[in-house]
Amino acid sequence: MNKHFTTSGPVVPSKHYCIDPMLRLDWEEIRYLIDAEKYFVLHAPRQTGKTSTLLAMMEVLNKSGEYNTLYVNIEGAQTAREDADKGMTTVCQTIAARARDYGIEPTLPALAQSILAHTNPGTAVTELLAQWAQISPKPIVLMLDEVDTLIGDTLISLLRQIRAGYAQRPRAFPQSIILCGVRDVRDYRMQNAHKETITGGSAFNIKAESLRMGNFSLEEVRTLYQQHTAATGQVFEEDVFPALWEDTQGQPWLVNALGHEMTWKDKSARDRSTPITRERYQAARERLIRSRATHLDQLTNQLKERRVYAVIAALLAGESRIANLQDDDLQYVEDLGLIRTRPQIAISNRIYQEIIPREITWQWQATITHQQAWYLTPERRLDMVKLLTAFQQFFRENSDVWLQGLPYKEAGPHLILQAFLQRIVNGGGRIHREYALGRKYTDLYLEWPLDEVKGFYGEVQRVVLELKILYANLDKTIADGTVQASSYARHCGATEVHLVIFNRNPEVSWEEKIWHQVRHDAELQVDVWGA
């Protein structure tokens, strides 16, 4: 079977294009921690290759002959929720079953059954690991994956049982235990049966280090795609890679998903003599965004969390209130893979920038009855003056209801305009979003193909829209916005520029809020809209 790009499950090198998992971490550091009998955390955002890496680590350590190493996914214990006894029973049974399945300790299921029959589940994990360590001919290295999916007393019990055996390592407890998940243990927030909040740091104060797996580098992205070229002869044109990098920042699932879209979902590209061009890449990107694939759905579900909400709301609104956020919250959202904090705080890649506002307003977009055809000229250009005039009326009629329902009210006006535009351009054009954190505005860059047959291979209408909330002086807001919008337009090569200013003051009437005027900056005309 030919190799292919994979977007589900662990990587199988014989079947999938892949970057060697052992090259994606500091193996020297991990070996040091294991040899030094340390317990530590390895965490990474979902679908970044964490499981593939852990399985590769298990294989390397077992082949070394120094350790009995076992990888165990304990997500099944999540169903126990607050029932710690049920959860610990599941953890014991799962560890034993995997030790049998990997041929590491075939007798462990019987031992687990005996312990569970005669021991309180509140100490059963400690007892199982202690007895296993004493019969094992080699020190044990145990990797527990999906630890952070456990809930409340179930998670507290597991962490405390591991801590209880720590002093007996390695003779009567595993030499090294690696806790794996999306979050660092410090971000575990657990409520016990008494509704007391316990943090992971207090329940697991034996942690030596927290290691985080990152994204692919640009060189690794090129290496991955080169594997496809070497196997099939199909080339990726050079200008694909700068766009791919900006869109993904090396996020492994996105990189693989786009590879799959370009080389397989695009049926015409199954002819391997067809080169993958920048336009084919852009089409694949748009299909992926519109697919609402599982990974992207998981990402948007995270937006409902309180700590995530606080950070993303500030970013979407383009406001400077990020300075008031807790450092722990920023670190947590970065650990989830939603933002990056260097060189400056931003949503982690351009595809996430596209997806987040689309998903937040998905159910609202469906209620918009305006149709694309209403705003097309005979030359098939988008009539932006007609479109934004219609938006002003739409915003006047619907903003109160929308702003009550939207989860990110701080960014509400921006999101409503983006939803309106998305409804109009969906299936035809593209909207690129830039969030100017700390400068209180959002830039939208709209591309609209004028020839339905040629699409983006033909002539393209390019429009810049800058969105601002009115906080102080209107004249200054217009003057600053005109310069900013025209500067962004020149950067994008756009010839149409619009500045939309939202007035949130409830004491100002709609008659005063809604207006349209024309300004100029150098050779560019800037249409300025009030809403």
Q: What would the DSSP string read from start to end of 346-388? A: EESSHHHHHHHHHHHTHHHHTT----GGGGB-TT--B-HHHHH
- Beta-sheet strands, E only, within 59-154: 68-73, 140-145
Q: 214: which DSSP letter?
A: -
At residue 1, the pLDDT reads 60
Q: Which residues contact 374 (CB under 8 A, 6 or more apart)?
A: 386, 390
Regarding whether 343 and 473 lie in a shared domain, the answer is yes
Of 438, 402, 400, 397, the residue nearest 418 (C-alpha): 402
Regarding whether 449 and 327 lie in a shared domain, the answer is yes
Residue 45 included in any domain: yes
DSSP structure string for 122-134: HHHHHHHHHHHHH
Both tokens assigned to 332: 């947590």
Within 13 Å of residue 14, how many CA atoms lie on the same side as its CB? Answer: 1
Q: Which residues contact 454 (CB under 8 A, 6 or more apart)?
A: none
| Contact (Cβ atoms closer than 8 angstroms) between residue 433 and residue 357 | yes
Q: Read off the pTM.
A: 0.82
Scanning the structure block, which residue is given the tokens 């919008």?
A: 485
CA–CA separation, 189 and 243 (whole Å): 38
Give the H or E element holding residue 390.
helix 384-405
Regarding whether 323 and 199 lie in a shared domain, the answer is no
Both tokens assigned to 410: 């701080």
Query: What residues make up the domain containing 354?
Result: 296-530
Distance of CA 123 to the CA centre of its chain: 37
Regarding whether 304 and 207 lie in a shared domain, the answer is no
Of 373, 400, 405, the residue nearest 387 (C-alpha): 373
Residue 40 included in any domain: yes
N-term to C-term CA, the chain: 58
- From 270, 291, 312, the end of a domain falls on 291
At residue 131, the pLDDT reads 97
- From 178, 196, 212, the end of a domain falls on 212
- Beta-sheet strands, E only, within 159-263: 176-181, 189-191, 197-199, 207-212
pLDDT digits (tens), the chain, 531 positions: 689 999 887 888 889 999 998 888 899 999 999 999 999 999 888 888 889 999 999 999 999 999 999 999 999 999 988 899 999 999 999 999 999 999 999 999 999 999 999 999 999 999 999 999 999 999 999 999 999 888 888 988 999 999 999 999 999 999 999 999 887 776 665 555 555 555 545 556 677 788 888 899 999 999 999 999 999 999 999 999 999 999 999 999 999 999 999 999 999 999 999 999 998 998 899 888 878 666 776 777 787 788 888 788 777 765 555 666 777 788 888 888 888 887 778 888 989 888 887 777 776 777 777 878 889 999 999 999 999 999 999 999 988 888 777 666 767 888 888 888 888 887 678 888 876 544 556 788 999 999 888 887 789 999 999 998 888 899 999 999 999 899 889 988 899 999 999 998 889 999 999 999 999 988 899 999 999
At residue 196, the pLDDT reads 54
Q: Which residues contact 46 (CB under 8 A, 6 or more apart)?
A: 182, 253, 295, 298, 337
Both tokens assigned to 390: 């219609």
Q: Which residues contact 364 (CB under 8 A, 6 or more apart)?
A: 402, 405, 406, 416, 419
At residue 39, the pLDDT reads 94
Regarding whether 504 and 460 lie in a shared domain, the answer is yes
Residue 471 included in any domain: yes
Task: List residues bridging with 530 in a β-sheet.
Answer: 501, 515
At residue 438, the pLDDT reads 47
- From 291, 311, 327, the end of a domain falls on 291
Residue 201 included in any domain: yes
Regarding whether 512 and 460 lie in a shared domain, the answer is yes
Q: Which residues contact 297 (CB under 8 A, 6 or more apart)?
A: none
Residue 331 included in any domain: yes
Regarding whether 195 and 333 lie in a shared domain, the answer is no
At residue 386, the pLDDT reads 95
Residue 507 included in any domain: yes
Scanning the structure block, which residue is given the tokens 């991955």?
A: 224
CA angle 129, 132, 133 (to 5 degrees): 85
Regarding whether 307 and 206 lie in a shared domain, the answer is no
Within 13 Å of residue 303, how many CA atoms lie on the same side as its CB? Answer: 23
At residue 429, the pLDDT reads 83
Regarding whether 370 and 332 lie in a shared domain, the answer is yes
Residue 5 included in any domain: no
Regarding whether 368 and 507 lie in a shared domain, the answer is yes
CB neighbourhood size of 193 (10 A): 10
Regarding whether 165 and 97 lie in a shared domain, the answer is yes
Q: Which amino acid is at 99?
A: A
Number of structural domains (the chain) is: 3
Regarding whether 309 and 287 lie in a shared domain, the answer is no
At residue 345, the pLDDT reads 82
| Contact (Cβ atoms closer than 8 angstroms) between residue 214 and residue 84 | no
At residue 407, the pLDDT reads 65
Burial of 414 (0-12, 13-18, 19+ CB in 10 A): buried
CATH label of the domain that carries residue 147: 3.40.50.300
CA dist list (Å): 502 to 356, 383, 474, 482: 21, 21, 10, 15
Residue 12 included in any domain: no
| Contact (Cβ atoms closer than 8 angstroms) between residue 157 and residue 84 | yes
Query: Is residue 38 classed as helix, strand or coil in its secondary structure?
Result: coil
| Contact (Cβ atoms closer than 8 angstroms) between residue 39 and residue 292 | no
| Contact (Cβ atoms closer than 8 angstroms) between residue 191 and residue 152 | yes
Both tokens assigned to 452: 């339905």
